[in-house]
Amino acid sequence: MKEQKHPLPPFTEETARRKVQMAEDTWNSMDPKKVSMAYSKDAQWRNRDKFFIGRAAIAEFLSGKWSKELHYKLKKHLWSFTDNRISVRFEYE
């Protein structure tokens, strides 16, 4: 069974904005386990020249990243949405 994360499609502007804010809040918690759970079990990530698969690998990568980036902050902005898709623009410092 596929995991579902609320709010679910179809999206309205309000629910799309809420979902984007929830994602931003999760990232800014700087909790690698919590962030990794926002992705599928077999998510595939690339960061520059590093490639990894799965939540455990994501959490491990983020733990290392945030042990060095002590003042990390991510900002996500709703770019557009349709009934079942959301696109965001993001920046971090």
Residue 7 contacts residue 81 (beta carbons within 8 Å): no
- 34: which 2 tokens? 């919590």
pLDDT band with cut points at 50, 70 and 90 for residue 15: very high
What pTM value is reported for the model?
0.86
Note the pLDDT tens digit of each residue in 28-68. 999 999 999 999 999 999 999 999 999 999 999 999 999 99
Instruction: Give the H or E element holding residue 75.
Output: strand 74-81
The pair of three-digit structure tokens given for residue 49, joined into one six-digit string: 């020249």
